[in-house]
Structure 1
Amino acid sequence: MNWDTLLSDTRLGNEIEIPYDQTKYAINEFNKDYWRILECFSFRQLQDKTQVFPLDKNDLVRTRLTHSLEVSSLAKQLVVMIHKNINTYITKNVYKLYPFSAKHAEYAAEIVACAGLLHDIGNPPFGHFGEDIVHSWFENHVDELCYYDEEELRTISLRKKELRSDLQHFEGNAQAFRLLTKLHDVDSEYGLNLTSAVLNTIVKYPTDSLHIEENSPNVCIHKLGYYYADEILFQKVVGNTKTFFDERHHRHPLTFILEAADDIAYATADLEDSYKKGLFTLDEFIAFFEKQIEAQREKVQNDLVKRSYEIINKLKEYRLKENESKNKSKNKSENKSENESENDLTSLNDWRIFQKWIKYMRHWLLYCAAYGFTNHYKEIMEGTYHSEILSDTFHEMTMKILKEAMKTFTFPSANIIKLELSAEIIIEGLLERFVPAAIDWDVKSGDRKTKAKAEKKLMTLIPENYKKAYDKNKSNDKEHNLYLRLLLVADFISSMTDTQAKTLYQEITGINN
């Protein structure tokens, strides 16, 4: 791979018109992408989609929107660091093969900033819980998704493996590619009409549903990257970036950076929200962290154990200094507010300490990610690197501990459990109503001579631009058209915010707010 083609600013649709001489102003195609994304309705909807915690209007926990902004910023910072590393540490022979100039770095930073904003745009309501519910529902019901065709006097069902597998492996990443290239109706027949480099970067898993290997050492094939329905567009994109060679698709190098930024944001910012929600104390976190280190001592190199201990000791150091400072201030103060208790002061103190430590931890992880990319630069550019760039770095184990902390302290919380239960009821309820309506919509079915009025009305709720995408892609193959109608329901449900999904479910089931 080489950066000249990887940073392709070619679009699937026509170029975007600008009403002035672009040579006078420093605006490039990736700048245009950035503003198109900010103006995009689906991007703004992320404000009302769960990141980890149920959305609380009186709290400042992160939403999908704020998370995406953080990932965008972290990814851009990583490119800056990586460019510096490559020009400092890469051997001349490797650099000669894969030069990464200042101009390349400038464009790459803009591309990952765009990709960071978009990386979760295809996720359905209620975070990853919603994603799991959709593909589990299709997995359990795929054999029932059929209708009797009057013209051919036979039952039309999903028999082709690729069609069944797509629905059974529903994935927010694949949905993002579909949303951006087909479902948006702006000024192009190709959705938002973004550059090929940005579109290729958001595809974390460049594989179809038939070649997924969840337990493979190659992380690039762990999940679905694009649907069968969108394969032609995906091939056009990778044709522009030249990431298809040796008879297979390869992950775009910038995708490694995007994925690292996403992991860092999740492992630090979301953990910070968990602390703010009172799900653990500083003492509990320190004890948990040290216990995790000891549990891994026999399995990992001593250097990783040492680095993880250095990190948790930094948290202890911050606490010690803060407490010393607090005690000095307390001795100098003569009066104390009646409403200010010692517990309140300690709690506020610990919150400041944890925030400071999280920022320190985030910088360390950025450093490790930049090192990881640089250290495996040649393999990444050759398409032979199949791990995440935080692997085999000083804080690989630390990252695992931070993620384990989320599983231990956050996901068992009552609010998260309630979110999972309500998400299951809402999303399954919507699927159970819209899927039967879609199955024999636009067909002559002998199952029911007169389709129920309620089902006809349900289909009017699906946006017209989504139906236009269906009309444009349908063919004479009735099985394929059935698959497209089922994708139409997935498109519709994925497009909703948490509030929209909840409200619609209540409205169509007659449940009062």
Structure 2
Amino acid sequence: MNWEQLLSLKRFGDKNKRIRKEQDETRLGFEVDYDRVIFSSEFRSLQDKTQVIPLSQTDFVHTRLTHSLEVSVVGRSLGRKVGQKLLEKHPHLQNVHGYQANDFGAIVAAAALAHDIGNPPFGHSGEKAIGEFFKTGKGKEFKKHLTEKEYQDLCDFEGNANGFKILTESRQGREGGLRLSYATLGAFMKYPKESLPKKPTAHIADKKYGFFQSEKEAFLDVVNELGLLSRSSTNDISYSRHPLTFLVEAADDICYTIIDFEDGINLGLIQEEYALEYLINLVKETININNYNALTNTEDRISYLRALAINTLINEAVELFMHNEADILEGQFSKALLDVSKYKAQINDIIKISVQNVYNSKDVLNKEIAGYEVINELLNIFTTTIYNKQLGSLSNYNHLILKVFPKTLDLNKDSLYDNLLSICNYVSKLSDSNAILTYRKLKGNHL
């Protein structure tokens, strides 16, 4: 892979090439990507979607929106620092093509901002709830009507693939979805493969999948424009990551490791003294003990250690990226950056405590169980309606349900798979509160 091709400013849905030297420096194309994501309705819905603590009423806890904003800030720093070093290593990118260090920051920030845009309500349990509906629930009856890969898309419903659908899916009057640059779309694609085969290798790019069968042509268009390397020896689709994807992933890993831990402390789920010890272990090489000891309250101490920890891991990720750049461009680097970090033991200790005390707390588990019930019932009603529509046997109730859907939802496709996926996509865009409200209305509990 080469950086000139990887940094494509061409917009999805547009046939024209865009040249870096011809860009308006006051409104760079990569920065427009950020704007388009942040003003989208799908991004706004993240303000009421679970990050760690579902349906939390406390000001302390992060939502998907605040998490995404923080990941984008960390991603911007990562991109700029790497960009500066890449331009020193490959001066022609600046001297000949006009790229600047901030370009890399803008690409990573935009992709990081969008990284959770496809996640359903109720956190990762929402993804699992959609998958379980088709794998073991009433949705299993659709298997006989779908190809193996189409059915797998539904059984392993994936927020990353759904995000790619949201960013690229055309509808009347909005060709090319959000019309982001190919560079940003490439950096967004964390797992550039289809749903089957599952985890064919231990390579990080094979951990999950990144596009539905409905977006296969869009995906191939992106990888061909960017010159990503094919990793498949069969007819199955699998590609190497865009190099900047490793920075988007690192930004997310840094934030959820440190920020989720911070949420657990603020909620009283993790003891302060215990938690501070773990954070200090991570930053012991850079901490100023005098400054730390001068802080008199928990909030300030945690804030200081959090900032120091994030900065430490940013610098570590930049160093690791540059050290492995050649292997990354060849598609040979097979792990997440922080998985080969010298701080891996400290990171794992922090994540272990978060899993034990936060992710598996009774409050979280009880609300995730409620989320399963809500999503299962919505899918039961909506997919039955769509299937009856396909068969031409709509009941009066089905007719009423169809009138509930927004006009932007196209359920008139010839393919049952496409219509089922549209329903899943619709449910995935609901906020936690809107999903519960819709559930109550359909149950007659909101009259």
Match for residue 408 of structure 2 among 465, 468, 478:
465
SS at match of 1:103: coil
CA distance in 2 between partners of 1:464 and 1:104 (Å) = 42
User: What's 1:134 paired with?
Assistant: 130
Match for residue 423 of structure 2 among 489, 495, 499:
489
Question: What is the CA distance between 1:99 and its match in structure 2?
Answer: 5.9
Match for residue 351 of structure 2 among 387, 395, 403:
403
Question: What is the CA distance between 1:375 and its match in structure 2?
Answer: 1.2
SS at match of 2:202: coil
CA distance in 2 between partners of 1:246 and 1:502 (Å) = 42
CA distance in 2 between partners of 1:435 and 1:63 (Å) = 29
Question: What is the CA distance between 1:61 and its match in structure 2?
Answer: 1.7
CA distance in 2 between partners of 1:395 and 1:493 (Å) = 39
User: What's 1:181 paired with?
Assistant: 168
CA distance in 2 between partners of 1:30 and 1:184 (Å) = 23
Aligned 8 A contact 1:466 1:488 in 2: yes
Rate the CA distance shift 1:270–1:499 in 2: closer, same or farther, 3 A. Answer: same
CA distance in 2 between partners of 1:125 and 1:414 (Å) = 19
Aligned 8 A contact 1:175 1:491 in 2: yes
1:447-466 superposed matches below 5 A? 450-466=393-409
CA distance in 1 between partners of 2:379 and 2:288 (Å) = 49
CA distance in 2 between partners of 1:313 and 1:29 (Å) = 39
Give CA-to-partner distance per residue, 1:88-108, whole Å, 9 cap, x none. 6x6xxxx58x96877253322
Question: What is the CA distance between 1:416 and its match in structure 2?
Answer: 0.7
Question: What is the CA distance between 1:157 and its match in structure 2?
Answer: 2.8
Q: TM-score of the superposition, structure 2-length normalised?
A: 0.89
User: What's 2:148 paired with?
Assistant: 161
What runs of 5+ residues in structure 1 fail to find an aligned partner?
A: 17-21, 147-155, 291-307, 327-348, 445-449, 476-480
CA distance in 2 between partners of 1:39 and 1:15 (Å) = 24
Aligned 8 A contact 2:72 2:113 in 1: yes
Question: What is the CA distance between 1:86 and its match in structure 2?
Answer: 4.3
Question: What is the CA distance between 1:316 and its match in structure 2?
Answer: 11
Identity %: 29
CA distance in 2 between partners of 1:246 and 1:174 (Å) = 18
User: What's 1:336 paired with?
Assistant: none
User: What's 1:105 paired with?
Assistant: 101
Aligned 8 A contact 1:209 1:224 in 2: yes
User: What's 1:210 paired with?
Assistant: 196
1:334-413 superposed matches below 5 A? 349-413=297-361
- One-letter code aligned to 1:28: L
Pair 1:194 & 2:180 matched: yes
Aligned 8 A contact 2:79 2:106 in 1: no
Rate the CA distance shift 1:438–1:383 in 2: closer, same or farther, 3 A. Answer: same
SS at match of 2:68: helix
Aligned Cα RMSD in Å? 2.8
Pair 1:262 & 2:241 matched: no
Aligned 8 A contact 1:48 1:64 in 2: yes
Pair 1:321 & 2:293 matched: yes
CA distance in 2 between partners of 1:234 and 1:142 (Å) = 30
What runs of 5+ residues in structure 2 fail to find an aligned partner?
A: 17-21, 233-237
Give CA-to-partner distance per residue, 1:37-76, whole Å, 9 cap, x none. 2221111111111111123445242111111111111011
- One-letter code aligned to 2:303: Q
Q: TM-score of the superposition, structure 1-length normalised?
A: 0.78
1:20-169 superposed matches below 5 A? 26-86=26-86, 95=90, 103-141=99-137, 144-146=140-142, 157-169=144-156
Question: What is the CA distance between 1:377 and its match in structure 2?
Answer: 0.5
SS at match of 2:357: helix
SS at match of 1:466: coil
- One-letter code aligned to 2:103: Y
1:280-295 superposed matches below 5 A? 280-285=270-275, 289=278
Question: What is the CA distance between 1:387 and its match in structure 2?
Answer: 0.5
CA distance in 2 between partners of 1:143 and 1:428 (Å) = 10
Give CA-to-partner distance per residue, 1:303-362, whole Å, 9 cap, x none. xxxxx846469889579824xx75xxxxxxxxxxxxxxxxxxxxxx23322221121111
Match for residue 220 of structure 1 among 205, 210, 214:
205
Aligned 8 A contact 1:46 1:65 in 2: yes
1:306-317 superposed matches below 5 A? 309=281, 311=283, 317=289
Larger radius of gyration: 1
User: What's 1:342 paired with?
Assistant: none
SS at match of 1:402: helix
SS at match of 2:244: helix
Aligned 8 A contact 2:80 2:103 in 1: no
